[in-house]
Structure formats: C-alpha cells, structure tokens
Amino acid sequence: MKFGNVFKICLALVVFTLLCSSMSSGTVVFYDDFEGTDLDTSKWSVFVDKLGEGQWPYVAGGLLHSQGYHERIDSIPTFAPMGQSVIARASIRLSGEIQKFGFAPNPMERTGPITGYYFDTVDGSVGLVHALAWFQPASGSPVKLLDFEISVNWYEFHEFAIERTPSAVIFSIDGQEKTRVADAFAGALPVGIWNDRWSFEMLTDWVEVATVPEPASLLLLGLGGLVLRKRK
C-alpha cells in the first residue's frame, strides 16, 4: 500500500473519531430525580396562583406529583443555546388535560420579546399531546410558531425531549424526533413542569438539561478533505 493511501486512511479515521466524539459528547447542567421527601427548592421555584391554593406539588416515592389547578414548577437556572444545543429531557406520565413540559417563562413574566417551546396535552384528548411553540413580541398578541399533534400512550412513562439549537427547536418522544420548527430565539428560559387541572395527577420521574457543542469536528472533516486533495 502506498504511503499516500495509508495517510489518507489514518487521517480519515482520526477525523471520524473526532466527529463521533463531538456529536456524542455533552454536559449535564441540571438534573433532578426527585429522591427524598421534599422538592429541592435550590433547583425549583413553585408557582401556584390563587385558584390552585391547597394543591401544591410534592415529592414521594422517587416521583414528582403534580396535581393542582394552575400549578407549575420552574427551574431556577435558565438555559439558552449560546452557540450550542441545549436539550431538556424528562420522564413523565401524562393523565389529563393541560399538562405541560418544556421551555417557557412563568405566566407572570411574559413581557416580550419572549418565547415558549413545550409539550401540552391541551384539551385532554386521551392519547394525544401537542408540540407547541409561540413568540410574544414586545407589543401585540403572541404569534403561534408551531402546533403539532402527536399520538402517545397516556398513563405510562415516556421520555419527552426538546432540543434548542441556534437555528431550530426539535421535539422528540422516546428518542424519536416528532417535529421541529425553525427559530433562532437565543434568550435564556427556565424548564418547567406544569399541571393546570387538579383532578388529573401528572407524574415526573426525572428531569435533565444538557448542553451539546455544535460538532466543530465538521470543520476538521472539511480541512481533512482539503489536505487530501492537496496531496493528490
């Protein structure tokens, strides 16, 4: 085998290894598995309006129990896709209408420009969840960016994931992409778990937020190709 061919093969292997490493690497920046007996208030803020008093979320049996009217918890840290992807994942059992998970500001903090991306059971059609995205400008009414209906079995746990990239938002369930919408909003948002109906309990096993660098090794791949062309 000629030295040039060996060089090409070795360089290709190096670039491929770097690419795979970059695409698979990520950093967990927020996590809660709801062990213990109390909600970790160093991680979460609780919002229950006057209609939901007496129905506060609680932790028991390694699960977050959300069963209240106009009840939500928001992560205290906020997350933005600053030159990278940020992914929020959660294992959740849905059981009723208007149960939500995703990125969005507290209803009391929706001064635009702001946006929201989340899963929502909306009107409670059993076996369905909607992927929603909206934008609230500085003035005027919110603009709907996405409302996509997805079939999913209720009353069992599924992994819901929303990935914010610098140019799009991707909605996945159990590791399968369901839909996406082009959007470049770069503002930081909390991750929230919300239940707006007291009669249906929403269970959450864990929540994770991770940042994933954009695959800079794609640049290495391009440079590798350039080197190969020059050596021909």
| Residues in Cβ contact with 175 at an 8 Å cutoff, skipping those fewer than 6 apart | 159, 161
77 belongs to a structural domain: yes
Query: How many folded domains does the chain comprise?
Result: 1
Q: What is the 3-state secondary structure (H, E, C) of the chain?
A: CCHHHHHHHHHHHHHHHHHHHHHHCCEEEEEECCCCCCCCCCCEEEEECHHHCCCCCEEECCEEEECCCCEEEEECCCECCCCEEEEEEEEEECCCCCEEEEECCCHHHCCCCEEEEEEECCCCCCCEEEEEEEEECCCCCCEEEEEEEEECCCCCEEEEEEEECCCEEEEEECCEEEEEEECCCCCCECEEEEECCCCCCEEEEEEEEEEEECCCHHHHHHHHHHHHHHHC
Query: What is the predicted pLDDT for the residue at 96?
Result: 87
Contact assessment for residue 115 and residue 183, using Cβ atoms and an 8 Å cutoff: yes
Nearest to 162 by CA among 94, 204, 209, 124: 209
177 belongs to a structural domain: yes
| Residues in Cβ contact with 156 at an 8 Å cutoff, skipping those fewer than 6 apart | 93
Give the whole-number percent of the chain exceeding pLDDT 70. Answer: 73
195 belongs to a structural domain: yes
18 belongs to a structural domain: no
229 belongs to a structural domain: no
CATH number (domain holding residue 132): 2.60.120.200
4 belongs to a structural domain: no
Residue with tokens 């990239």: 165
Identify the bridge partners of residue 208 per DSSP, sorted by sequence position.
Answer: 31, 89
Amino acid at 133: A
Query: What is the predicted pLDDT for the residue at 212?
Result: 85
User: Which mean pLDDT values do the consecutive 10-residue runs of the chain (232 residues) have?
Assistant: 53 47 69 94 85 77 84 91 91 93 77 86 90 89 93 96 95 97 91 82 96 57 42 42
Query: What is the predicted pLDDT for the residue at 120?
Result: 95
The domain in which residue 79 lies consists of 27-213
| C-alpha–C-alpha distance, residues 118 and 204, integer Å | 15
12 belongs to a structural domain: no
Q: Work out whether the CA dihedral 106, 112, 117, 118 comes out positive or negative.
A: positive
| C-alpha–C-alpha distance, residues 99 and 64, integer Å | 13
21 belongs to a structural domain: no
Digit-coded pLDDT (tens) for 72-109: 899 999 999 887 899 999 999 999 888 999 999 866 66
| C-alpha–C-alpha distance, residues 193 and 68, integer Å | 12
Nearest to 91 by CA among 148, 164, 33, 130: 33
